[in-house]
């Protein structure tokens, strides 16, 4: 008899819980990053020249003699043995690594000057002939002056003080010439050549080419801003003491590029154009590694080194929910603060390997589209596999957590939607809540909107139409995380309407329109269970389903289905006994 009563109570509680589905985890907008890259000239670099007894002919001739294999390049003009010489240099840089959405803020061309014996100084001037000129590889026809225009930056040879690298700063016009999708091609000319000033002696310089080697090749320094992602790494720290301990190699696995690594020894800021697949922390002993999959576009990641002895353990996650976009996290508490140690994406049907210190306590949690659930703490010992079960009741209804932010958006009745927001760190600049009605062809019609400069918001909107679906969009501007957004789906609860509303009697801790429906279900349970508990269970669930259909009871059909299945299993077990 006690078992029968226990099952009745369990199913009654089951039906009283509403299990609503959260559509999206927060979509953190990309941050603005600043980066500087250094590009080395390609082997296509070269110069072209013409010598003639007539200066105008030498300057305006349409073809010149090319030099593309030498170790130095000439630039400028001279007269020697009654022959006028005009030299022009051409440089190529593969700048395709710069993101396509980047805003180039500054650039510097650095050339290694190895000779300057000019009798007349001139400005080394950067000009542009892209996209066609100069060709790659250099052609004789690329010499023609009419193909190149503008002043992308210049500097007087009077400022050359000897051999070594010498920099030319790009002008605002020249910044537009940097090719974000391929090769940046530049022509370097003398300002006196551009102006058509006839030389009276030597007025040229030479600088080293790519063929001289990386240590002397022309360099292009480009600084740019771009919408991307940023991760700040700290550590590595000892898991037990929290003190800084040596250094560690961190591997980065981009979505569409070759993995690379850096050494973390204190603090390291990583900027990328898009969110990497994951990071790998290379533990030196035993060739073990820990993994961390980023969930947002900005994160501060604390890297911890396990205490010896440590081993690989497998987490066998039994998922009875069917979580989407799920991640399994392990965390520890050090000096009163909780830190995420590893985060792996949940791949259904696969066990997840984690590195744990033997006998040390770790916390487990699951973060997914359905919400966040803390699975408690575990102390790994001799077992190799740790089994964790995730049930439909693991997640609070309509509830999600992001960093220090907690928020909910629920359709509590046919006419009412309740929204709550709280930032425990008090770093929110403003919260914007907009409620949309879903019209035909999924067209969204704005029904309500409010924006408040607050860290805590609670609102109840009572103007929903019973037979309409709604979407709640919450946009937050946060001092640390930038702009965040969440979207909640608030479906109509049923096809009927609920006439019971006892709000006129005062404030209730629950939705008063549900009291009658809940009372009817409990009466059926109680009355029929006295004679036959199986009959009471089945009839109570049938009545609950009917009340949901007509709108008198606001619970999910998922809950009704689960309750019915459990009742059937119970009935079958009773028949066997």
Residue 509 contacts by C-beta under 8 Å, 6 or more apart in sequence?
none
State mean pLDDT over 123-139: 97
The residue that leads in pLDDT, 526 or 165, is 165
Percent of the chain predicted with pLDDT > 90: 49
Indicate left, alpha or beta for 206 from its phi (over 0: left) and psi (-120 to 50: alpha).
beta
pLDDT digits (tens, 9 = 90+) for 263-276: 999 999 998 888 99
- Fold for 227-394, please state it: Immunoglobulin-like (2.60.40)
Residue 531 has pLDDT above 50, yes or no: yes
Structure tokens at 114: 């190895």
Beta bridge partners of 73: 207
pLDDT digits (tens, 9 = 90+) for 411-432: 877 788 889 888 888 889 999 9
- How many angstroms separate the CA atoms of 563 and 87, rounded? 87
The residue that leads in pLDDT, 110 or 504, is 110
* CATH code reported for the domain at 42-217: 2.60.120
Residue 517 has pLDDT above 60, yes or no: yes
- How many angstroms separate the CA atoms of 211 and 200, rounded? 32
- How many angstroms separate the CA atoms of 188 and 556, rounded? 72
pLDDT band at 15 (very low <50, low <70, confident <90, very high): very low
The confidence score (pLDDT) of residue 14 equals: 46
Which of 174-183, 250-259, 449-458, 486-495 shows the lowest mean pLDDT across its residues? 486-495
pLDDT digits (tens, 9 = 90+) for 304-360: 999 888 999 999 988 876 777 889 999 998 888 889 999 999 987 778 999 999 999
State mean pLDDT over 29-38: 75
The confidence score (pLDDT) of residue 222 equals: 96
pLDDT band at 4 (very low <50, low <70, confident <90, very high): very low
The confidence score (pLDDT) of residue 25 equals: 34
The residues of the chain that CATH labels 2.60.40.1120 are 227-394
pLDDT band at 465 (very low <50, low <70, confident <90, very high): confident
pLDDT band at 558 (very low <50, low <70, confident <90, very high): low
Q: Look at the alpha carbons of 422, 428, 432, 438 in this order and tell me if their dihedral is positive or negative.
A: negative
The residues of the chain that CATH labels 2.60.40.730 are 399-490
- Residues 399-490, CATH architecture: Sandwich (2.60)
The confidence score (pLDDT) of residue 3 equals: 45
The confidence score (pLDDT) of residue 198 equals: 96
The confidence score (pLDDT) of residue 78 equals: 96
The residues of the chain that CATH labels 2.60.120 are 42-217
SS3 of residue 251 by DSSP: strand
The confidence score (pLDDT) of residue 144 equals: 97
pLDDT band at 569 (very low <50, low <70, confident <90, very high): confident
State mean pLDDT over 479-484: 82
């Amino acid at each position: 008899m006690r078992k029968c009563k226990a099952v009745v109570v369990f199913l009654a509680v089951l039906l009283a819980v509403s299990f609503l589905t959260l559509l999206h985890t927060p979509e953190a907008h990309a941050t603005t990053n600043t980066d500087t890259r250094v590009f080395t000239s390609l082997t296509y670099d070269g110069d072209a020249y013409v010598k003639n007894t007539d200066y105008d002919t030498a300057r305006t001739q349409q073809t010149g003699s090319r030099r593309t294999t030498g170790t130095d390049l000439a630039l400028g003009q001279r007269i020697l043995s009654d022959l006028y010489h005009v030299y022009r240099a051409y440089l190529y840089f593969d700048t395709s690594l710069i993101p396509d959405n980047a805003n180039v803020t500054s650039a510097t061309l650095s050339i290694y000057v190895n000779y300057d014996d000019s009798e007349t100084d001139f400005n080394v001037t950067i000009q542009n002939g892209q996209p066609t000129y100069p060709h790659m590889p250099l052609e004789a026809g690329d010499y023609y002056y009419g193909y190149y225009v503008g002043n992308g930056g210049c500097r007087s040879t009077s400022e050359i003080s000897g051999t070594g690298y010498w920099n030319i700063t790009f002008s605002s016009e020249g910044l537009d010439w940097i090719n974000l999708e391929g090769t940046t091609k530049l022509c370097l000319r003398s300002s006196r050549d551009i102006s058509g000033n006839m030389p009276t002696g030597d007025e040229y310089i030479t600088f080293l080419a790519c063929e001289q080697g990386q240590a002397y090749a022309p360099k292009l320094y480009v600084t740019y801003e771009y919408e991307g992602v940023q991760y700040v790494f700290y550590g590595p720290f000892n898991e037990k003491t929290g003190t800084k301990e040596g250094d560690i190699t961190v591997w980065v696995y981009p979505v569409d590029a070759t993995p690379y690594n850096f050494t973390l020894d204190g603090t390291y800021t990583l900027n990328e154009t898009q969110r990497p697949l994951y990071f790998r922390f290379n533990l030196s002993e035993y060739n073990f590694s820990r993994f961390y999959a980023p969930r947002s576009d900005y994160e501060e990641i604390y890297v911890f080194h396990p205490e010896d002895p440590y081993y690989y353990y497998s987490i066998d996650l039994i998922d009875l929910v069917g979580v989407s976009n799920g991640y399994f996290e392990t965390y520890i508490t050090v000096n009163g603060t909780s830190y995420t140690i590893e985060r792996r994406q949940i791949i259904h049907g696969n066990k997840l390997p984690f590195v744990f210190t033997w006998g040390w306590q770790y916390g487990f949690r699951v973060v997914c589209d359905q919400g966040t659930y803390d699975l408690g703490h575990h102390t790994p010992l001799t077992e190799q596999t740790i089994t964790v079960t995730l049930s439909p009741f693991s997640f609070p209804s309509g509830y999600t957590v992001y960093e220090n932010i907690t928020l909910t958006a629920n359709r509590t009745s046919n006419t009412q939607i309740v929204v709550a927001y709280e930032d425990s760190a008090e770093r929110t600049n403003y919260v914007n809540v907009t409620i949309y009605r879903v019209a035909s062809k999924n067209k969204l019609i704005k029904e309500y909107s409010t924006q408040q400069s607050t860290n805590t918001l609670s609102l109840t909107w009572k103007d929903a139409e019973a037979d309409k679906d709604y979407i709640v969009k919450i946009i937050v501007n946060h001092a640390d995380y930038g702009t965040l957004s969440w979207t909640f789906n608030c479906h109509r609860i049923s096809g009927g309407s609920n006439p019971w509303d006892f709000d006129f009697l005062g404030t209730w801790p629950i939705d008063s329109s549900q009291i009658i429906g809940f009372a009817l279900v409990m009466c059926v349970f109680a009355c029929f269970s006295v004679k036959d508990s199986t009959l009471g269970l089945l009839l109570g669930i049938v009545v609950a389903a009917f009340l949901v259909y007509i709108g008198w009871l606001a619970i999910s059909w998922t809950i009704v289905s689960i309750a019915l299945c459990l009742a059937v299993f119970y009935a079958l077990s009773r028949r066997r006994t």
